[in-house]
Amino acid sequence: MVLMKMKFNFQKRVKLAQGLWLLSWIACVCGAITFTLGVFLKTELRRRSEVMDNTEIHAVPNTLMMVGLASMGINIFAGRICQDALDPSRFPRWRSFLQPYFAVAVFFTLLMLVAVIMSYAMKGNLEASLKIGLKNGIRFYKDTDTPGRCFQKQTIDRLQMEFQCCGNTDFRDWFEVQWISNRYLDFSSKEVKDRIKSNVDGRYLVDGVPFSCCNPSSPRPCIQHRLTNNSAHYNYEYQTEELNLYTRGCREALVNYYMGLMNTIGAVVLSIFLVQMSVLVSLRFLETSMAAVAGQENVEIETEGYLLEKGVKETAKEFKDNVLKFLQLNQVQAAEGGEQKAEAGAAAPTS
């Protein structure tokens, strides 16, 4: 059963070719936009790579860049086909290339859809990556003299100020790590000695946070040390006071930022996917309607165009059979090649 059969007279075929030529160049520009969005997202992710544990999330921008470039090539090719479709004498030369062209075009178009799905589905991976990355970033905050970690303090401070956040989950994360380097501790001080002795791991832990956690919108001067000690500050209650620190954790802030970015990109790429599908469907109608013109003296005859020559199930089964035959043929050829090499090795004279 032919799927989506339509009749095309000469004027309809001309309008289809002209409209498709314009649509293919619009889709080409859309492919460039997809590539640009992939580059932008890749750059944004690399900017925060120091607070990410892995690069699995980079699969989204990498896929976008790949399908963007492929889309430009596919649509330039489609534009050339549309030009030659206006001349029945030149169109037949493309027929042998159209089947592999459609296979490649459908693959990359579906890959575009996969990129859209990934942009919505990668929240768990992103959150897990940031959880470990931020935890390590806070732990290495003090290591300004350690090669490879020299800029960790600067990275965390800039991150907390830019995203108006503090710590991994919240500001209390800073209570659990020694974020002040031993270089700046007075070990002759009784307070420092007592704090280090009171800790099993010998770390200098304080109920304080770095300056970058301070919220400049607060009317009160920033309280960043002895946060849990009510008697250390005038008119201060730790449990009830609205602290003049950022209360949101940086993991939440970064997840919201990147997911907002990827969701927006996903919506744009989904629109581009629909444009690309329109190009492929229109090109298929043009190809099948022009096939009947080949070899005819009267090129203005009415022809039929369709999307699939058979039903969806029949086409899928035929495609599956062709793939299996191709794989079996490759296996047979590989086996024959192995036997020939073995025979040649056995026939070779020994020295």
Encode pLDDT of 191-215 as tens digits. 888 888 887 778 888 889 999 999 8
Could you report how far apart the first and last alpha carbons of the chain are, in Å? 67
* pLDDT, average across residues 22-31: 94
The reported pLDDT for the residue numbered 342 is 64
Element (H, E) at 113: helix 95-121
Instruction: Indicate the pLDDT class of residue 263, thresholds 50, 70 and 90.
Output: very high
pLDDT at position 87 over 60: yes
Position 13 scores a pLDDT of 82
What's the pLDDT tens digit per position in 340-349? 666 666 666 5
**In this structure, are residues 152 and 137 in contact, taking their beta carbons and an 8 Å threshold?**
yes
- Residues 310, 1: contact at Cβ < 8 Å? yes
In this structure, of 93-97, 232-236, 266-270, the range with the lowest mean pLDDT score is: 93-97
Residue 42's pLDDT is 94
**For a pLDDT cut of 90, what percent of the chain falls above it?**
41
Residue-level pLDDT at 93: 75
Q: Identify whether the C-beta of residue 101 lies closer than 8 Å to the C-beta of residue 272.
A: no
Counting Cα atoms < 13 Å in the Cβ hemisphere of 71 gives 34
pLDDT for 160 beyond 90: yes
The top-scoring range by mean pLDDT among 16-25, 306-315, 329-338 is: 16-25
What pLDDT score does 323 carry? Answer: 63
Q: Which H/E stretch holds residue 222?
A: none
Alpha-carbon dihedral sign for residues 75, 76, 81, 82: positive
Q: Report residue 51 as tokens.
A: 């607070």
Q: Which two tokens stand for residue 15?
A: 């309008």
Regarding predicted confidence, which is higher, 301 or 133? 133
* CA dist., res. 189 & res. 195, Å (int): 10
Q: Which of 97, 91, 100 is nearest to 290 (CA)?
A: 91
Rounded to two decimals, the pTM is: 0.80
Task: Give the Cα separation of 152 and 143 in Å (integer).
Answer: 8
What is the mean pLDDT of the segment spanning 13-39? 92
Please give the Cα distance from 48 to 50 (Å, whole number). Answer: 5
Under 8 Å between Cβ of 24 and 82: yes
**pLDDT of 186 above 80:** yes
At 326, the pLDDT band (50, 70, 90 cuts) reads low
Three-state SS for 245? strand
The confidence score (pLDDT) of residue 351 equals 45
Residues 110 and 118: their CA atoms lie apart, in Å, by: 12
Beta-bridge mates of residue 304: 7
- Of 27-31, 224-228, 302-306, the one with minimum mean pLDDT is 302-306
Mean pLDDT taken over the chain:
84
Give percent of the chain above pLDDT 70. 84
